[in-house]
Amino acid sequence: MSEDAVSDETQTGIDETGIDDADETDVDETDVDETDADETDADETDADETDADETDADESAAAGGSRVDRLEQEGDIAADYLEELLDIADLDGDLDMDVEGDRAAVSIVGADLAQLVGARGEVLDALQELTRLAVYRETGERSRLMLDISGYRAEKRAELVRLAEETVARVRESGESTALDPMSPFERKVVHDAVAAAGLTSESEGVEPRRRVVVLPV
């Protein structure tokens, strides 16, 4: 073989080696670029998801704060209305405002406020409705505010829970449904909750003011 042929083959080998090296370098650089792009996309996705989570948390906190603020506003409006009422009736009473679950709660405590309660709480129920109307007039939204006077509702709640528990025991023993005496909506709600907590079911029947709770067997 001539020296020129050897020289050409050697040069060709060098060129092919250079091409192979260049190709491998391009592949490596491409892989690096794609890896960087993938990592960048992943970082951006993580950042987006983190921002979304933080936004959801902020919105939930804002919604919760807004709800509490609204209920506290209802309590303030109710307290102003009731304070004026006490002044007109020339009665002394201290007002206490709170938020209980999903409703505002206002309590009036005084030495002698039985006349604002009534024999069976009927005056208290009427005052509660008037107070809710006062709140509606100011806010334009229906209120579920709960009014208590001299601890009447708290004592009544405890009494009704005991009644519900005793009735549940009788129904379980006899296997027959039992109807209770007519009650106000507040009283029926307390009994329904207590019966459910004891593991039985109950329903209301009749029309106001004779609507009553019936406790059902399993």
The domain ranges of the chain are 1-150, 154-216
Angle between helices 122-139 and 3-89 (to 10 degrees): 130
Burial class of residue 198, CB neighbours in 10 A (0-12, 13-18, 19+): middle
The more confidently predicted of residues 154 and 22 is: 154
CATH of 154-216, one of 3.40.30.10, 3.30.1370.50, 3.40.605.10, 3.30.420.10: 3.30.1370.50
- pLDDT tier at 195, thresholds 50, 70, 90: very high
Express as a percent the part of the chain with pLDDT over 90: 61
What topology does CATH give the domain 1-150?
GMP Synthetase; Chain A, domain 3 (3.30.300)
Q: Same CATH fold, 154-216 and 1-150? A: no
The reported pTM is: 0.64
| pLDDT average, residue stretch 175-197 | 95
Distance (Å, whole) CA 78 – CA 121: 19
In this structure, what is the dihedral angle of CA atoms 70, 71, 75, 81, given to the nearest 10 degrees? 60
Other beta carbons within 10 Å of 191: 23
What pLDDT does 11 receive? 44
Cβ–Cβ under 8 Å, residues 131 and 145: yes
The residue behind tokens 């992943």 is 42
Burial class of residue 145, CB neighbours in 10 A (0-12, 13-18, 19+): buried
What pLDDT does 101 receive? 84
Cis check for the bond before 209: say yes or no (omega within 30 of 0): yes
Composition of the chain by helix, strand, coil, percent to 5? 65, 15, 20
